[in-house]
Amino acid sequence: MLEVVALGCERDQRKLFTGLTFRLRAGDMLRIQGPNGSGKTSLLRLLCGLTQPTNGRVELFGQTLARQRDIRASKLLWIGHAAGVKALLTVEENLTWLSALHSTGETAAIGKALAAVGLRGFEDTPCHALSAGQQRRIALARLYLPNLPNLWLLDEPFTALDTAGTEQLEAHLARHCDHGGTVVLTTHHELSKRACAYVDLDLGQYTS
């Protein structure tokens, strides 16, 4: 599903990592960890094609990402470190907007996704009135929509979540992998629920 070959990354003329190689198949869960500044977010951005590597390559389903610019959004789901919600839009409007790349945005599906993350009853609430944790839940509600790509790339998905929300998300990610999906996530959080095929990657080992 996803293959990384001899990947290297520089930022501001500083090498973050070099010689990174791995392959992920359906069912795999990869947790990326490492010291601050080791390139965790940069690696995720390379994996979803938002930036280009200094050297090496990323292949998605056997083809380099550079050849899939117009269709890669249909093959992977990316949720960045920031919640990415619009403060003046309502909860329902935000999720409809966030899901546009992957889902039809039908009201029933939006409602079920919001209920899954504990936001039932907040549909018409402007997002500026919500806590940071609630705004994070809006972004994560995308993971409960139908017809999603099987590959999920998540940058610090547990940020601002309470204990219950963290446990729920862990279980949901593990289920996704155990049913044939693939998850790549960055986090310092020690997962208590993991997919059957789970691997840790320490980027600190690839710093030159």
pTM attached to this predicted model = 0.92
Residue with tokens 């920031």: 82
Mean pLDDT of 76-101: 90
Confidence of residue 77 (pLDDT cuts 50, 70, 90): very high
Burial class (CB in 10 A: 0-12, 13-18, 19+), 5: middle
Confidence of residue 70 (pLDDT cuts 50, 70, 90): low
Q: For residue 143, which of 117, 162, 163, 118 has the smallest C-alpha distance?
A: 117
Backbone phi, psi, residue 92, to 5°: -65, -40
Confidence (pLDDT) at 98: 85
Which residues, at least 6 apart from 207, have a Cβ–Cβ distance to it below 8 Å? 15, 16, 17, 18, 38, 39
* pLDDT reading at 105 higher than 70: no
Mean pLDDT of 22-43: 93
53-76 burial by CB neighbour count: b if 16+ within 10 A, else e? beebebbbeeeebeebeeebbebb
* pLDDT reading at 7 higher than 90: yes
Mean pLDDT of 17-35: 94
Mean pLDDT of 158-167: 94
In this structure, which CATH number among 3.40.50.300, 3.30.930.10, 3.90.1150.10, 1.10.1740.10 belongs to the domain 1-75+149-208?
A: 3.40.50.300
Mean pLDDT of 155-182: 95
Pick from 3-12, 52-61, 72-81, 115-124: least confident? 72-81
Confidence (pLDDT) at 74: 75
Domain spans, the chain? 1-75+149-208, 81-148
- What is the chain's mean pLDDT, rounded? 90
Confidence of residue 103 (pLDDT cuts 50, 70, 90): low
CA distance 188 to 172: 18
Mean pLDDT of 149-176: 95
Confidence (pLDDT) at 75: 84
* pLDDT reading at 207 higher than 90: no
Residue with tokens 């049913």: 179
CA distance 170 to 202: 20
Confidence (pLDDT) at 71: 62
Q: Quick check: 64 and 58 in contact, CB under 8 A?
A: yes
Confidence (pLDDT) at 72: 65
Half-sphere exposure in the Cβ direction for 55 (13 Å, CA): 8
For residue 176, the surrounding DSSP H or E stretch is helix 163-178
Mean pLDDT of 147-172: 94
Confidence (pLDDT) at 73: 66
Confidence (pLDDT) at 164: 93
